[in-house]
Chains A and B, each alone.
Chain A
Amino acid sequence: MRRRSGATASRGRALSQPTSEPLKTTPLHALHKALGARMVPFAGYDMPVQYPSGILKEHEQCRTSAALFDVSHMGQAVLRGAKAEEALESLVPADIKALGVDRMRYTQFTNEAGGILDDLMVTRRADRILLVVNAARKEHDFAHLSKHLGPRGCTLRILDDRALLALQGPAAANVMARISPAAAMLDFMSGANVRIDGVPVFVSRSGYTGEDGFEISLAAAEAEAFARRLLEQPEVAPAGLGARDSLRLEAGLCLYGHDIDETTSPVEAGLAWSIAPRRREQGGFPGAARIQRELKEGVARRRVGMKPEGRVPAREGTEITDEAGKPIGKVTSGGFGASAGGPIAMGYVAPAAAKPGTRVNFTIRGEARPGAVVKMPFVPHRYAKG
């Protein structure tokens, strides 16, 4: 038996630092080991890909009850400055000025060519802006922010002494109500400082699974006791990066370095919804010319969801052809959707082939296997309604 193509593990390798550098660990590393996790290198960190229950059960746990993920490898930072909102708008296409206090928004750092340097979550607080960026890109992103926003009077503080946990699933709100009624009342895409068991934490109602849930930022030293407290709740079980990947894929959410990168624009990636009308009109972010042109005139390729027929997954890198056999794109994420009940994939195709229902073929092990373009998400989002 020899691995031919991988999702999680090869992703880890692709994004991790050279093997000569020792892997970093999160504040929950000892807990993962105690829980029997299988650890893999991911973005330079030694991370749990799964626990003994396995990826399918952990996926199911999140869709039916609540799952706890350690996402402490992600980059957390605080941006301060008299005009921090305006300054941040010079690097991202989202409307940050219109963002209400304690509200959260998804956006991207774009480059001059209109490609995506990273995607991130932005939360506006009364006197500062909280940022959460991808683990593999955090050093790049923080240097980028300092370089461009430093001269604009902003200061960036990197929160490398904090853990980040994600509690996700339909039972997450019940669990939260038990330990913090205030946090359980949060609207989707908003956050607040609360105390849980006397520990100050910042909780937001957000996530990366398509389910209702919370992300909790707290001091590294408090993280293990806090995670154990959550795991004591009857609805909660731990889930690793494997389930996180299959859950986000079913939810149609992009993974940086795979579904989006420095060549793909937010419009091609189907992320134009995250660019408010004012920013579309005024521009003023890197690559605005391309993005504005694509919004008006259309794109050369489009990210779509696809379902291979049968049971064989179309993995990342799989060639997509039209019914005549002509190559029309490549799979950027593909695997098995446990809740979707079969293999699912996303990738970029020519606009003519982007319509749901379009028949396509996947070249898998030299054989053309049929499938079709479908609407995303593959599994309906179940975010809390505000």
Chain B
Amino acid sequence: MAKKYTKEHEWIDMAGDVGTVGITEFAQEQLGDVVFVELPKVGADVAQNGQIAVVESVKAASEIYAPVTGTITAVNDALAKEPSLVNQSAEDKGWFFKIKLAKPDELAALMDAAAYKKFAEGKA
């Protein structure tokens, strides 16, 4: 399934009932150099739009929101050693966590790639 995007610049990539979540290329560019990512604990439950992670760049701390309701099944431990993965590969190697969806219907309201591109261009 194709990636979906939020207005808060997170992406979610579904495989079965589990989605991989990160921040978009546009978001990493706005943030600048990432120096730390605070990830959730595996097993944590989160509601859609709930704060779930924090990304610290040289400029600022920013909150990351869950694009969907669910349970965290994995986190990207590589970010602890190499937070710059978020800058180098925001939409692939720089993923934050995996989440098992409790309400798959929530996905329908998220943007597809084309809609997000338009949305982000309006923000730039």
Choose from A1, A4, A56, A311 the contact partner of B58 (Cβ within 8 Å). A56
Which B residues are in CB contact (< 8 Å) with A2? 8, 62-63, 65
Contact A1 B61 (CB under 8 A): no
The CA-CA distance from A9 to B31 in the complex, in Å, is 11
Contact B32 A50 (CB under 8 A): yes
* A134 CB-CB contact with B under 8 Å: no
**Interface residue tally on B, bucketed by range:** 20 to 34
The CA-CA distance from A1 to B63 in the complex, in Å, is 5
Binary CB contact string for chain A from 183 to 200 against chain B (1 if under 8 A, 0 otherwise): 000000000000000000
Interface residue SS majority, chain A: mixed
Interface size of A by CB at 8 A reads 26
Which B residues are in CB contact (< 8 Å) with A365? 38, 54
Contact A10 B60 (CB under 8 A): yes
* A109 CB-CB contact with B under 8 Å: no
Contact B23 A1 (CB under 8 A): yes
Choose from A54, A313, A343 the contact partner of B32 (Cβ within 8 Å). A54
Interface residue SS majority, chain B: strand
Contact A6 B60 (CB under 8 A): yes
Contact B65 A4 (CB under 8 A): no
Contact B59 A8 (CB under 8 A): yes
A1 and B35 in contact, given A55-B58, A55-B59, A315-B61 (Cβ under 8 angstroms): no
A336 and B35 in contact, given A1-B55, A2-B8, A4-B54 (Cβ under 8 angstroms): yes
Which B residues are in CB contact (< 8 Å) with A246? 58
The CA-CA distance from A315 to B62 in the complex, in Å, is 12
The CA-CA distance from A242 to B31 in the complex, in Å, is 12
Choose from A1, A10, A49 the contact partner of B27 (Cβ within 8 Å). A1
Which B residues are in CB contact (< 8 Å) with A56? 33, 35, 58
The CA-CA distance from A3 to B55 in the complex, in Å, is 9
The CA-CA distance from A335 to B58 in the complex, in Å, is 7
What is the CB-to-nearest-CB distance from B71 to chain A, in angstroms, rounded to a whole number? 21
* B10 CB-CB contact with A under 8 Å: yes
Contact B60 A5 (CB under 8 A): yes
Which B residues are in CB contact (< 8 Å) with A335? 58
Contact A313 B27 (CB under 8 A): no
The CA-CA distance from A56 to B32 in the complex, in Å, is 9
Contact A1 B59 (CB under 8 A): no
* B116 CB-CB contact with A under 8 Å: no
Give residues of chain B (1-27) contacting chain A, Cβ–Cβ below 8 Å.
8-10, 23, 27
Most buried by B among A336, A343, A365: A336
* A300 CB-CB contact with B under 8 Å: no
* B45 CB-CB contact with A under 8 Å: no
The CA-CA distance from A1 to B31 in the complex, in Å, is 10
The CA-CA distance from A8 to B57 in the complex, in Å, is 11
Which A residues are in CB contact (< 8 Å) with B38? 312, 365
The CA-CA distance from A322 to B74 in the complex, in Å, is 35
* B101 CB-CB contact with A under 8 Å: no
Known: A1-B63, A6-B59; 19 extra A-B contacts, CB below 8 A, are A1-B64, A2-B63, A2-B65, A3-B62, A4-B54, A4-B60, A4-B63, A6-B60, A8-B60, A56-B33, A56-B35, A242-B58, A311-B83, A313-B36, A313-B56, A315-B60, A336-B56, A336-B58, A338-B58
Interface pairs A-B: 6 shortest CB-CB = A6-B60, A311-B36, A56-B33, A336-B35, A55-B58, A1-B9
Binding site for A on B (CB under 8 A): 8-10, 23, 27, 31-33, 35-36, 38, 54-56, 58-65, 83, 87
